[in-house]
Structure 1
Amino acid sequence: MHTALRHGLPLAALALALSLGGTAQAADNQIVLGASVQLTGPIANTGRYYRDAYELAINQINRKGGVTVGGKKYTLALKIYDNQSDVNLSVRQYTQLVSQDKVNFLLGPFASNFALADSAVSEKYQTPMVQGGGASDQIFSRGFKYVFGTLAPASDYFGSTIKMFKQLKPEPAKVALLYADDSFDVSVAKGTRPMLKGANLNTVLDERYSSNTSDFNTLLSQIKSKQADAVLVAGHETEILNFIRQAKSLNVSPKLYSFTVGVPSEDFRKALGKDAEYAFGMTAWLPNAALKDDWFGDAAQFAKAWGAQYRYEPDYHAASGVADVEAIVKAIEKAGTLEPKAVRNALAASDFNSLYGHIKFADNGQIHLDQTVIQVQNDKPAAVFDGSKFLQEPKYPMPDWSKR
């Protein structure tokens, strides 16, 4: 597992500023972006994607000449705190970033429950925040004007998967829906229910579980007794790992499992080894050379640069984090000023191509990107369905655990 220690980051909630000058104080020619990210604690393994994305994007933009504002050149700097996977600490740190550290603009944390709480700080202080770590519809349903998100709505995460169900042979007859009790997963479930109903699929189990739970035995026993053909699970990576391991131990073998997280992640596949095979997931991003930007060239070049720098593969978390920085830079240059309201208005009018995809925020501040269904095949995530057609043959039905 990659942790904060990989970069020599301290375990305490300590601020770092990463800039060409290597100083924690903003110079006259610096634009300081602030963030609080999970560098330690239970969800640090995903939180580090955002720290790494912000670093890589800022360094690349600085190498390419920095940011031009009204004819003056600026470099970017990053001031980042470790929220230790604690929401309350994260809110305090974002408050400090704006009120004491006086950063210019904000980048987001990972996870919807963090983005939900932290964006209230950006709204209170009218400091724009662009975040690619929270997809919950709840974040964008409050009428806030200063938070922008580069993840597609959580309510549509299983949309492409359900469309795929209708084209599978045999079509799944009975579906189980499980979801954690946090903001993101509740939004996923809320959006999934009407899609299942609209597809005339029979939901035989619809159950919420506690976030960070490690015991899925009761839910797995219900899946088995109700003879579910397809199981949809919305949760975080550690939960999904526990779910799969226990499914194997209990030999619970529906025709397919699909998960909101994990499948795109190299660490997830390494943690499970061969047991990750056949798992379905989804992603709004793949390192396609057709996705181009002004700084890295294209998504394939970005993925190569990421691997060389960090020694692990980027996924959509990484790409969305880079897009957050790019969106702020584009807005600053378009506004021609560092005045927060002007940059906020420029963000609202964003319309550009990034290595992550087309960045154009809806009126509520959230982006829309289609989810591609992926499946672990031969230890790699394979793109199998794009929402309308198969891109390659899925491995379906999943074989019984006892016969693998």
Structure 2
Amino acid sequence: MKEVQDIVRAFEEARKEGKQTALATVVHVQGSSYRRPGARMLVTEDGKLTGAISGGCLEGDALRKARLAMVQQKAMLVTYDTTDEDDAKLGVGLGCNGIIQILIEPINPDNPENPVTLLQSFLDNRQHAVLVTLFSLDYQAAMQPGTCLFATEGGAIVGGFQDKSLEKALIADAQEVLRTRTSMTKTYATPQTALTGFVELLKPAVSLIIAGAGNDAIPVTEMAAILGWQTTVVDRRASYATAERFPAAQQVLVAKPEQVLSKIKLDEQTVFVLMTHNYNYDTAMLRQLLPLQMPYVGVLGPKKKLERMLEELQEEGMQLSEEERKSVYGPVGLDVGAETSEEIALAIVSEIKAVLSKRVGTSLRDKQDVIHSREGEKIKQVTLE
């Protein structure tokens, strides 16, 4: 998410300065690579790079090709085969073992449907969206359609096609991606041609609500900002909950526990961390959050404190299901041996990322399988009438 935010910002700066730009997007990966499909990099005509499509090995070559795309005003698909020794001889070996497809699109700022403007539309509205990018794997020298459709949960669809059967298929797949919350790659074949579409799910930034405006909450907001998360800090103490103390937060609220939920928007990307160091405030917040089954509620403090809070809520008559209990993480954070407030912040942010990614936060060294699932590498094919 931070990458998209930075690209949109860099594009706007380049537009104001009258500079040409091109967007490089990883659209498909087979095997191992540093970045996965959806990774992006904006290139300006004077060589400024924002974002990344690799660990640094591809950027130089991609810059040269992006400049060519700007001159020709024509999208191009570039293949980097790191299983091929010739690529290694040319200096683009990644130290991985995969085939990476990069689509490079020159950006026309006057086109309201250019890919960066569509990404801006996504950022402006806090909801899931789908961006469809079409390319030809079989005929790379042919015209590459590029970014062609944008769909939102609200039903808005941007993009149109002369081929109505293709348009219908893409819209249906975009809606399926929104429903399943999983991107897909599919080839759409006709008697004349075959185009592959990367139907990409765009998720809103994580919305982190921190209950507690103590000094230990400050590094949590700072680390969240590095990731591009949207952070709200709330506390009942007006002298603590100030924008001056939390410049990295998007919102700072002074509110009692029963007022908090009415002041924020909740969705499936919203997570909470309770760290007020006030037992009654945290308990009151937990009382409101448990029935909502939020994806993550972290509670700072010892396990006995959390157990006491849950027992107290049950004594009040609250029936706690297993699913409600599973959404609560206390003591908060991964076990990284944290002691200082900065280390604790690292443990908290890492645990939130792991939970939202449905990972357990173990060392990659001990992982028996590949780091990234290879399921997304499969390209389904459908024949259009």
TM range (shorter): under 0.3
The structure with the largest helix share of the pair is 1
The structure with the largest strand share of the pair is 2
TM-score by length of 1: 0.27
- Kindly indicate whether structure 1 or structure 2 has the higher relative contact order, using CA contacts under 8 Å at least 6 residues apart: 1
Query: Which protein shows a greater Rg?
Result: 2
TM-score by length of 2: 0.28
